[in-house]
Amino acid sequence: MTDLITTAAEPRRVDQSRAPLLIMLHGFGSHENDLMGLAEFIDPRYRVVSVRAPVPLEMGGYAWFPIEFSPVGMVMDIDEGMRSRDHLLDLVQRLQATHGNDGSDTIALGFSQGGAMALSLLLAKPNQLAGVAFLSGVWLRELLPEDDTILTALQDKPVLQTHGTDDPLLPISKAHRTRDVLNSLPIDLSYKEYPMGHEINGDCLQDLQDWLASRLSTD
């Protein structure tokens, strides 16, 4: 697999020797520029890096793993997703080495399928991230870690989960099931839902801004 394509926005304000790192992962069928519009609304101390998923789609755009819609529901290529996750873990390490970051000041933010990828990074390597914003995504109980070392490292890791009550693609019932799954982990979960579809509305954006700002040191 070739290197993942990224686009970046430098911090608009530098208050310390190194800028915290925010890595953004787009949803199915989108691209690396889709979430970059959020950069101007978040805390200006973040360096923002948005990543293009590696799987090109015939309909246009990119995916972290293929999805098929069958009579029994949505079928996901989990193996391809794990390959994308491993490639992302490598990218995170390289970005941290380049910019002087580590697991104490690196946040992953993902929307929809990108949210699942962001969460998968945390559940695979908890010490590599300081938290995850998991926007309009779902997670399966079968994919939870069972390793005691990982579970210990997940203790009090902050995770923000947001979802729309009117989401036509991933119904709110799936978000509630995901919330229950995540609550079985020792993470610090903040769950928010809004009267919106498969999107990020103004109230969601405000909560995201506040959550991201609260991850930063006030020293």
**Residue ranges of domains in the chain, CATH in brackets:** 6-214 (3.40.50.1820)
Residues 6 or more apart whose CB falls under 8 angstroms from that of 78 comprise 65, 143
Q: At 107, which amino acid appears? A: I
Q: Look at residue 121 and give its three-state secondary structure.
A: helix
pLDDT at 130 over 90: yes
pLDDT tens track for 142-191: 889 989 999 999 999 999 999 999 999 999 999 999 999 999 999 999 99
**Which letter does DSSP use for residue 154 in this model?**
T
For residues 174 and 158, give the distance between their C-alpha atoms in angstroms, rounded to a whole number. Answer: 21
Q: Are 63 and 31 in contact (CB under 8 A)?
A: no
Token code pair at residue 153: 């490292």
pLDDT of 218 reads: 58
pLDDT at 77 over 80: no
pLDDT of 70 reads: 61
| β-strands 67-70, 73-76 pairing | antiparallel
Beta bridge partners of 7: 50
For residues 44 and 17, give the distance between their C-alpha atoms in angstroms, rounded to a whole number. Answer: 15
| β-strands 158-164, 131-135 pairing | parallel
**Which letter does DSSP use for residue 30 in this model?**
B
pLDDT at 20 over 50: yes
